[in-house]
């Protein structure tokens, strides 16, 4: 069972439906205990960084999310759910993030010919292995919509890059923690493959714990 964190920022139903489509089960929750003890967690999100942190803090969810990540169980952040993992963001002022990963979230500063938000289907390039990318070919398209991007302080966190004016981090991986700037739930077959691989981690983890 995958638990999707509900903090009133964005379209949870799409994420839930996509997980169900690839054979998983997903529930939506804003309960701190359920989140801390979930077997797999998805942190989705669209909207502004500061508003999102305010909603997470108002529901006392920051520590449960950190506690969950500390257990090493499979975690997937999507879009704003990637950005919030970092130490600080600069969207409408300076805001502290969850601080799970070192680095910051900055706005695209590009020549006029580049539209911001970066919106649409762009290709990604693999830079480091990640357990949920086995079925994903290099240079495939994913759907992006964002004006800010993450700059991990530790470059080895980056497993996919994307180019828009310059290369930026499109996905981070650290053990069982994964987070994408693009929306797998809106990226048709490629996105569903990624979600299927994430869902399959659970069965792997669960059967391991049963056998041990």
Partner 1 sequence: MLAARVIPCLDVHGGRVVKGTNFVNLRDAGDPVQVASRYEAEGADELVFLDITASHEERDIILDVVRRTADCVFMPLTVGGGVRTIEDVRDLLNAGCDKVSINSAACKDPEFIRRAADRFGSQCIVVNIDPKRVQKDGQEFWEVHIHGGRTPTGRQAVQWAREVEALGAGEIVLTSMDADGTCDGFDLPITAAVSQAVSIPVVASGGAGNPQHLADAILKGHASAALAASIFHFGQYSIAETKRVMRQAGIPVRL
Nearer to partner 1, 92 or 206 (CB): 92
Rounded to the nearest whole angstrom, what is the least distance from the CB of residue 113 to partner 1 in the complex?
9
Q: Specify burial of residue 137 (Cβ count, 10 A radius: 0-12, 13-18, 19+).
A: exposed
Catalytic residue flag (residue 21): no
Buried b (16+ CB within 10 A) or exposed e, 69-83: beeebbbbbbbbbbb
Catalytic residue flag (residue 118): no
DSSP three-state, residue 135 = coil
Which residues ranging from 63 to 92 are in contact with partner 1 (CB under 8 A)? Answer: none
Q: How far is CA 204 from CA 9, 197, 208, in A?
A: 30, 10, 6
**Radius of gyration (C-alpha) of the chain in whole angstroms:** 16
Q: How many CB atoms lie within 10 A of CB 149?
A: 20
Does 147 contact partner 1 by CB under 8 A? Answer: yes
Rounded to the nearest whole angstrom, what is the least distance from the CB of residue 149 to partner 1 in the complex?
14
Which residues ranging from 15 to 54 are in contact with partner 1 (CB under 8 A)? Answer: 17-18, 21, 46-48
Does 125 contact partner 1 by CB under 8 A? Answer: no
* Cis peptide bond upstream of 117, omega within 30: yes
Rounded distance between C-alpha atoms, residue 60 and residue 56, angstroms: 6
Q: Which of 95, 185, 206, 210 is catalytic?
A: 185
Rounded distance between C-alpha atoms, residue 77 and residue 43, angstroms: 5
Taking CB under 8 A as the binding criterion, the range among 6-14, 53-61, 67-75, 96-104 that sits at the site for partner 1 is 6-14
Q: Which of 126, 141, 161, 200 binds partner 1 (CB under 8 A)?
A: 141
Does 185 contact partner 1 by CB under 8 A? Answer: yes
Q: Which of 119, 137, 153, 204 binds partner 1 (CB under 8 A)?
A: 119
The site for partner 1 (CB under 8 A) is made up of: 10-11, 13-14, 17-18, 21, 46-48, 112, 115-123, 141, 143, 145-147, 163-164, 183, 185-188, 191-192
């Amino acid at each position: 069972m995958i638990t999707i964190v509900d903090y009133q920022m964005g379209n949870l139903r799409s994420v839930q439906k996509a997980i169900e489509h690839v054979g998983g089960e997903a529930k939506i929750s804003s309960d701190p205990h359920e989140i801390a003890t979930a077997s797999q967690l998805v942190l989705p999100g669209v909207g502004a960084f500061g508003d999102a942190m305010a909603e997470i803090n108002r529901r006392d969810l920051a520590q449960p999310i950190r506690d969950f990540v500390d257990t090493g169980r499979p975690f997937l952040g999507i879009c704003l759910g990637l950005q919030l993992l970092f130490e600080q963001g600069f969207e409408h002022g300076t805001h502290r993030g969850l601080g799970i990963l070192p680095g910051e979230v900055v706005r695209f500063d590009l020549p006029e010919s580049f539209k911001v938000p970066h919106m649409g289907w762009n290709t990604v390039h693999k830079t480091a292995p990640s357990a949920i990318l086995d079925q994903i070919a290099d240079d495939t398209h994913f759907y992006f919509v964002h004006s800010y991007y993450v700059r991990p302080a530790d470059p080895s966190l980056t497993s996919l890059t994307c180019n828009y004016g310059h290369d930026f981090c499109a996905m981070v991986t650290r053990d069982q923690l994964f987070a994408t700037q693009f929306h797998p739930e809106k990226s048709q077959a490629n996105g569903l493959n990624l979600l299927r691989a994430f869902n399959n981690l659970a069965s792997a983890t669960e059967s391991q714990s049963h056998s041990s």
